[in-house]
Amino acid sequence: MNEQNPLTEKQKLILDYISEHIQNMGYPPTIRDICGAFEIKSPNGVMCHLRALEKKGKITRNLKLSRGITIEGVSIGGFSIPLLGIVAAGKAIEAVEQNERLELKDLFPMQNVYALKVRGTSMIEGQIADGDYVLIRRQETADNGQKVVAMVDRAMTLKKYYQRKDFVELVPMNSTMTAIRVDPKVNDIQILGVLVGVVRKCM
């Protein structure tokens, strides 16, 4: 902190609030959020504090974005658990204790990623079961063989994607089910994203 130009008590509180919001929620607060948190009636009051924090080098603002506040060194929080070592799923191996943590946000980067809960068993042979949560990276294109979430005539499905000569084939990973063939000239089809992870709770 610049001792010649220290923060006021209210500025400290607002800076802490912004930092915690970014870490806990994954994005910065809006001016309206800050108004509500501190019972400030006028957005101009919040703007004065933000301008002061920016002038003192505590925040950076992108005025074109409603959530355009960033703080150097403060990033989206995550969920981490102790990583104690490696366990064999085949031949037993010597236990070597580790003192690390597994940070899930590093496995599944949160930018443009959303979650969906799976209903049904069409992907069971791809280790995706009914009740699992799939993490989907938002994108509008996919390569053949990728697992995608597709919207076909306003119905959403998780399947393997294949672009054929005259149609799109959405293939289940369940040998008892048949593929869905979609003619783009007849049906509306959109790729909503590509699978990047699966989360399962074991009872």
Residues forming the active site? 122, 159
Distance CA 199, CA 196 (A): 10
CA-nearest of 139, 142, 152 to 192 is 139
- CA dist 18 → 24, 45, 63, 68 (Å): 10, 16, 16, 11
Cα angle: 115, vertex 21, 52; to 5 degrees: 145
CA 145/CA 170 separation, integer angstroms: 10
Dihedral sign for Cα atoms in the order 28, 101, 138, 72: positive
Q: Are 142 and 148 in contact (CB under 8 A)?
A: yes
